[in-house]
Amino acid sequence: MTKEIKVKALKEGSVLDHIPPKKSMEVLKILNLLKVAKENTIIPAINLPSKKLGKKDIIKIENVFLTAKDLEVLWFIAPGASVSIIKNGEVVKKIPIRCPEKIVSILECPNEDCITNHGPQETKFTMYKDKNCLCEFCERIFPLEELKIKYNSQ
Ligand SMILES: [Zn+2]
């Protein structure tokens, strides 16, 4: 017998939907949601059935309204995700996840000699439509697949 699990609906907050299955923990980490949400409830749901993806993850965050800026980094791990802003139990806004034009600090430069790998300098990449990224410090261009996400341990 299958039993449907109902996840509590939000009255106020943000819902991140269509996250690739098992990626929700990474999303929590990259958006720093545990910090952003402070004392508010966060409900991650992992491996829910999805028509589009087969399986998917969802994250609901109570009383936190994410902005397009917050979500830029999400493009790297969940490019097909969607975000709904809920107010008074209704979806008032949907924020599309777009490829950011510039991405600061979350990516590592693959060039070992780059200044960003030798000190506190934050990385800064310009993203091109052809999925190549320019490091603004060593001025080298890398395909997106070569860039790794850097997680803050704090
Ligand atoms: Zn570099």
* d(CA 77, ligand 1 centre) in Å: 21
* d(CA 108, ligand 1 centre) in Å: 8
* d(CA 26, ligand 1 centre) in Å: 24
pLDDT for the residue 129: 80
Q: One digit per residue, pLDDT tens: the chain, 154 residues?
A: 555 656 668 999 999 999 999 999 999 988 888 888 999 999 999 999 999 889 999 999 999 999 887 888 888 888 889 999 999 999 999 998 888 888 888 889 999 999 999 989 999 999 888 889 999 999 999 998 898 887 654 4
Write down the domain spans for the chain: 13-96, 102-149
* d(CA 30, ligand 1 centre) in Å: 21
pLDDT for the residue 94: 93
pLDDT for the residue 154: 42
* d(CA 106, ligand 1 centre) in Å: 13
pLDDT for the residue 58: 95
Is the domain 13-96 a CATH 3.30.420.40 member? no
CATH number of the domain at 102-149, please? 2.30.30.20
Distance CA 19, CA 35 (A): 20
* d(CA 96, ligand 1 centre) in Å: 29
Number of CB atoms found within 10 A of residue 25's CB: 12
* d(CA 3, ligand 1 centre) in Å: 51
pTM of the model: 0.78
The Cβ-side half-sphere exposure at 31, using a 13 Å CA radius, reads: 31
Q: Would you list the DSSP string of 102-119?
A: EEESSEE-S-TTSGGGSS
Q: Would you list the DSSP string of 61-85?
A: EET----HHHHGGGGGT-TT-EEEE
